[in-house]
Chains A and B, each alone.
Chain A
Amino acid sequence: MQITNFEELEIGDDLPEESPDVSMATVTAFCHAAKHVFERFIDHEAAKKEGFPAAIVPGIMSQGLLASMIHRWAPGSTILEIDTVFRGSLLVDSKITMTGAVTDIDEDERTVELDLAIVAEDGRTGVIGTAQVQVVS
């Protein structure tokens, strides 16, 4: 559910779960935009030769996916800070799930603190993070 009223936010509120597109086509497009065109991101067989189970989603893309989720949850919001820890590989062409929850609210600054995570298809947590977001609604 999108935020429609800042005053109704509560600590513990969950952001809607999302499963973003991490297909090979989309990850490859990201790599070209980021000028990070490395085989471990865009070629399953090459990634296996490097010891990965398959091609992996770039860490900086996973952060971008979380940012987009925040913008959908809080339209018009401004992300002031986003901090992500890359704990494990997220595989290209797999189903990954993004979650978030409100952990603090500053009513004077109209900002919220979020906990963020991305879970891989096999249940491993690939990314954890936090964000500080200024909400306009």
Chain B
Amino acid sequence: MAKITKSLETLMRQALDGDKCAYSDLLRETAHFLRPFLQQKLSSRNDVDDLLQEILLSIHKARHTYNDLRPYKPWAYAIAKFRLLDYLRTRYADHLRFAIEISEVENSLYGCVTEPRISYESINGEIFKLSEKQALILQMMHQEGYTTKEVAGKIGMTETAVNVAAHRAYKALKRQLEE
């Protein structure tokens, strides 16, 4: 794409006079500065593309409401924000419309879908076969619910050392359980 040297206001004035080339440059530049704005608001690339197309169409429909006596960007951003809000409103309205009430499906839900196969208690005996320090670390992290940082503080180790010890303990546990 050739570098645009004319201001957006000039391009729009020329476009309104029927200059197709200026209009094409203007739309390209508009897409260029609106894309990062939309990327900040939407995570999906497809959503950004869809919305950008809608905004360019709206700019095309509303171009007669612009004259070059005022800056172009606030005018274009006003339309972009309007379409963005419209897009999000429709999208969330759809999400709500198609959402299922939990009461409608609670009978078909399994009782304990999140119950882990292995709990701390079920492998308690194996943990105490580990070294004293490793067992203490696992007990503090998985039974008492301390974070790595808190464990490090309590037993006088660095956070990295606790992480390394925990990692070694997991490996040792895995070996013991596989045997």
Asked if A and B bind, the verdict is no
Could you list which residues of chain A lie within 8 angstroms of chain B, going by C-beta atoms?
Answer: none
